[in-house]
């Protein structure tokens, strides 16, 4: 039946009993979003906004705060 063995059907039954049939679509969507984000992270793509003080054109980042003992001024 659909290439599922008895073991697969038992596991599927336990998942349905634990989470309920209403939560299964939410669980599947969350799992899909997580896998998509993981694959994007592995490929090096970033969709995060640049951090405060980050200059993408220079490839450097200025410090968020300057300590009182530092000789450099921001």
Q: How far apart are CA 30 and CA 1, in angstroms?
A: 27
Q: Which residues pair with 61 in a beta bridge?
A: 54
Flag whether 20 is in a domain.
Answer: yes
Q: Structural domain tally of the chain?
A: 1
Flag whether 40 is in a domain.
Answer: yes
Put simply, whether the predicted model's pTM sits higher than 0.95 gets the answer: no
Q: Which domain holds residue 51?
A: 6-56
Flag whether 74 is in a domain.
Answer: no
Flag whether 70 is in a domain.
Answer: no
Strands (E), the chain: 54-55, 60-61
pLDDT in tens, the chain (74 residues): 578 899 998 998 898 888 887 888 888 899 899 999 888 888 876 665 655 555 566 666 666 667 777 565 54
Flag whether 69 is in a domain.
Answer: no
Flag whether 66 is in a domain.
Answer: no
Flag whether 63 is in a domain.
Answer: no
Flag whether 49 is in a domain.
Answer: yes
């Amino acid at each position: 039946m659909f290439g599922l063995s008895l073991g697969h059907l038992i596991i599927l039954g336990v998942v349905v009993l634990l989470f309920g049939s209403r939560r299964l679509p939410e669980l599947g969507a969350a799992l899909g979003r997580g896998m998509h984000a993981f694959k994007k992270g592995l490929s090096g793509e970033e969709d995060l906004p640049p951090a405060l003080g980050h200059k993408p054109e220079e490839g450097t980042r200025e410090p968020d705060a300057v300590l009182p003992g530092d000789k450099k001024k921001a």
